[in-house]
Amino acid sequence: MVNSVVVVLGASLDTAGSASPTMKRRVKAACLLSQKKAAHLLVSGGVTCPGVLKSEAQVMAALAKEFGLEDKRVLIEDRSCNTLENAAFSKKILDRENFKTVYVVSDCYHLTRAKMAFQAVGVKAEYCASDLAEPLRLNLIFSILREFPALLWYALRILRADHKRLMNLK
For the stretch 38-59, pLDDT in tens is 999 999 999 987 888 899 999 9
Residue 144: per-residue pLDDT: 74
Q: Is the pLDDT of residue 128 over 60?
A: yes
Q: Is the pLDDT of residue 132 over 70?
A: no
**Alpha-carbon distance 83 to 78, whole Å?**
12
pLDDT band, very low/low/confident/very high, at 133 (cuts 50, 70, 90): low
35: amino acid identity, one letter: Q
Output the average pLDDT for the chain. Answer: 89
Residue 162: per-residue pLDDT: 73
Task: For the domain made up of 4-167, give the CATH fold.
Answer: Rossmann fold (3.40.50)
Beta bridge partners of 105: 8, 128
Q: Say what the pTM is.
A: 0.84
Helix H, strand E, coil C: the string for 71-131 is HHHEEEECCCCCHHHHHHHHHHHHHHHCCCEEEEEECHHHHHHHHHHHHHCCCCCEEEECC
So where are the chain's domains? Answer: 4-167
